[in-house]
Homo-oligomer: A and B are copies of this chain.
Amino acid sequence: MNITMNQLEKSFARISALDHATAILDWDEAVVMPSQSGEARAAAQSELKIIKHEILTNPKLYELVLNLECKNIALDPWELANLREIKKLILRANSVEKDLIEAQSIATSECQQNWKVMRDDNNWKSFLPLFEKIVHLSREEVAQRSKSSEPSGYDCLLDQFSPGISSNQISEIFNQVKLFLPELTQEILDFQMKTDRTLLDSSKEHLSASIDSQKNLGLSLMTSLGFDFTKGRLDTSHHPFCGGTPHDVRITTRYSQTDFIESLMGVIHETGHALYEQNLPERWTHQPVGMARGMDIHESQSLFFENCIGRNKHFFKFMFPIIKNNLFKNKDSSIPLSQIIFDRLHQVKKSLIRVNADEVTYPMHIILRFEIERDLILGKLEAKDLPEVWDLKMQEYLGLSTKNDFKNGCMQDIHWPSGAFGYFPSYSLGAIFASQLFSTIKKEDTNFNENLSQGNLTFIKNWLRNKVWSQGSLYTSQELIFKATGENLNPVYFKNYLREKYLE
C-alpha cells in the first residue's frame, strides 16, 4: 500500500479507537452508570471529543490528503472512496470555530436538561429563550460551514445524517408523499373501521407478560434474525438504541409489563441496525469508508426488519409460535391470541406523538418537522412562532390540534433541544429506502412469502449483505439504492407497500 495512504489510515485507526471509547462510554451511561457519576463522565467524554477534533484538524493530516490527490497515485475504488470520506471529515472538522463548538456544547447541555422538566410541565415560555440560543448557534454553525465546506445552508446539517442528499431532493420526495399519504391513510382507517374492533379494544389485558419472559423472547428473535451474540449484547435502557462498535454491538430495549409489543418491536428494530453494523466490510474496519453509510440507510435497515419483516403477515406465522412459547404457554386456548397480536401490530391511528406513530402516519410527523426546521435554520421562521406553525401543520397533515399543548406538540422530541437539526428526514427516507429494497428482494426471491413464513431469512440477508451491509460508505446513499434496485429512490414503492399491506 502507498505510504501516505498508510499514514492516513493509521490516523483514522486512532480516531476509531476514540470513537470506540466514546461509544462504549455512551452505552455504559445509558445502561449501567451510577446516578451521580454523570458529571465526571460528561467531562471525560468532552475531552475525548476535543482529542479527536485535534487529530482531525492537525494540518499535517490534510496535507496527506492533498499529497495523495496531487500525486495521481493509482488508488482502488475503496481507497478512493475512503479518501473522499476522509477529506470530507477533515474539512467538516475545520469548518467550525472552536469557540462555537464549546458554546454549542454548553447551550445544548443546558437546554436538554431543562427540556425534560419543562416539557413535562408544558412550559413553553421558560423553554423558549433556551431554545432560541440553540437556533441562533445552529444558524451561526451553518454560516461558518457554508464558507468552507460543501454542502451549504440547511443542507450542511442534513449532510451529517443523510450524506449526499439535498433538501431540494428531500422536498421533492416528501411532496410526492404528501400527495398520496393523507388520502391513503384515510382509506386505511376506513378499511380498519369496517373490521371488528371488539377484539382490539379488549386486547390490552392479553398483552401482559413478565419482563424476564419478554427478555427471553427478544433474545430468541434476535437469534432467529441472525444477531451475533459473540460480538454483541441486549440490555435495557430508558430509550432503545443501537450503540457500541461493529465488533461489539450493544442494542437495548425497554420493557412494559402490560404490553410486550413495545419491547419486542424495539428489539427487532435495533436488531436491524445491529445486523448492518455486524456485517460492515471487515477490511475497512476503523476507516471512514468502512462505516455505515448514514442515518438514512441505517434507519432503512432497522425499519426493514421492524416493519417489512416484523409486521409481515407471512413472517407472523413464524413469529407467533415463538411469542406464544415464550410468553403465553399456559394461556387459555379459547382466546384468539394470534388475531389480537396481529391486529395490534397493524393498528393505524392518527396521533400527536411521533414515537408512538404507526408506519402509515409516521411520515407526516417527519414532513412537518422537516419543513419547520428547514425554515427555522434559514431564518424564514423564528423559534417563538414554532407552536403556531406546528399546530397549523398538525391540523393540515393529521387533522389534530396542538393548540397550547406544547408538551405533545413542538416540545415532544429531544432532537431540537440537543441541536440535532437535519436528523428527522432520515427516519422517513429510511422507510422509503426500506420499501424499495423490500419490493426488489421480493421480486428476486421466487419463494419469498414461503421463506418468510418459515423464518428463513437466508435470501434476504445474503441480498442485504451483498448490496448494502458490505458496501460500507463506498457509495453515496443515492448510488447505493440505484445499484441495489436499479432505480433512484422512488416513494411509489412506499405507497404500494402500504397499500398492499393494509388494504389487501
Closest to A27 in B: B28
Question: Which of A225-233, A263-271, A431-439 is the contact stretch?
Answer: A225-233
Q: Is A169 an interface residue (CB 8 A)?
A: no
Q: Is A37 an interface residue (CB 8 A)?
A: yes
Q: Is A25 an interface residue (CB 8 A)?
A: yes
User: Main SS of chain A's interface residues?
Assistant: helix
Q: Would you call A248 and B48 a contact (CB within 8 A)?
A: no
Decide yes or no: A232 and B34 within 8 Å by CB, A47-B14, A50-B14, A248-B40 being known contacts: yes
Q: Would you call A25 and B34 a contact (CB within 8 A)?
A: no
Decide yes or no: A230 and B51 within 8 Å by CB, A20-B44, A44-B20, A248-B40 being known contacts: no
Q: Is A503 an interface residue (CB 8 A)?
A: no
Q: Would you call B245 and A34 a contact (CB within 8 A)?
A: no
Q: Is A317 an interface residue (CB 8 A)?
A: no
A229 contacts across to B, CB distance below 8 A: 34
A28 contacts across to B, CB distance below 8 A: 24, 28
A233 to B231, CA, bound (A): 24
A40 contact from B33, B34, B43, B247, Cβ within 8 A: B247
Minimum distance in angstroms from A244 CB to a CB of chain B: 8
Q: Would you call A25 and B21 a contact (CB within 8 A)?
A: yes
Which of chain A's residues 51-91 have a Cβ closer than 8 Å to chain B? 51
Q: Would you call B231 and A17 a contact (CB within 8 A)?
A: no
A37 to B33, CA, bound (A): 21
A34 contact from B21, B37, B248, Cβ within 8 A: B248
Q: Is A196 an interface residue (CB 8 A)?
A: no
Q: Is A500 an interface residue (CB 8 A)?
A: no
A18 contacts across to B, CB distance below 8 A: 47-48, 51
Map CB proximity to B onto A231-249 as digits: 1 under 8 Å, 0 otherwise: 1110000000000011110
Q: Is A32 an interface residue (CB 8 A)?
A: yes
Q: Is A36 an interface residue (CB 8 A)?
A: yes
Q: Would you call B231 and A47 a contact (CB within 8 A)?
A: no
A48 to B248, CA, bound (A): 18
Scoring A25, A228, A246 by chain B CB atoms within 10 A of each residue's CB, the highest score goes to A25
Q: Is A202 an interface residue (CB 8 A)?
A: no
Minimum distance in angstroms from A47 CB to a CB of chain B: 3
A51 to B51, CA, bound (A): 9
Q: Is A13 an interface residue (CB 8 A)?
A: yes
Decide yes or no: A233 and B13 within 8 Å by CB, A20-B40, A37-B248, A40-B248 being known contacts: no
A17 to B40, CA, bound (A): 9
Decide yes or no: A233 and B34 within 8 Å by CB, A21-B25, A24-B24, A25-B24 being known contacts: yes
Q: Is A334 an interface residue (CB 8 A)?
A: no
Map CB proximity to B onto A1-26 as digits: 1 under 8 Å, 0 otherwise: 00000000000011011101110110
A14 contacts across to B, CB distance below 8 A: 47, 50-51
Q: Is A39 an interface residue (CB 8 A)?
A: yes
Q: Is A35 an interface residue (CB 8 A)?
A: yes
Q: Would you call B36 and A231 a contact (CB within 8 A)?
A: yes
Q: Is A465 an interface residue (CB 8 A)?
A: no
Closest to A246 in B: B40
A164 to B233, CA, bound (A): 44
Q: Is A41 an interface residue (CB 8 A)?
A: yes
A285 to B233, CA, bound (A): 33
Can you add 20 more A-B contacts, CB < 8 Å, to A17-B48, A37-B248?
A: A13-B43, A14-B47, A14-B50, A17-B45, A17-B46, A17-B51, A18-B48, A18-B51, A20-B40, A21-B21, A24-B24, A32-B32, A32-B233, A34-B248, A35-B230, A36-B228, A37-B230, A37-B245, A37-B247, A40-B248
Those 3 A-B pairs whose CB atoms lie nearest each other, nearest first? A17-B47, A40-B247, A37-B248
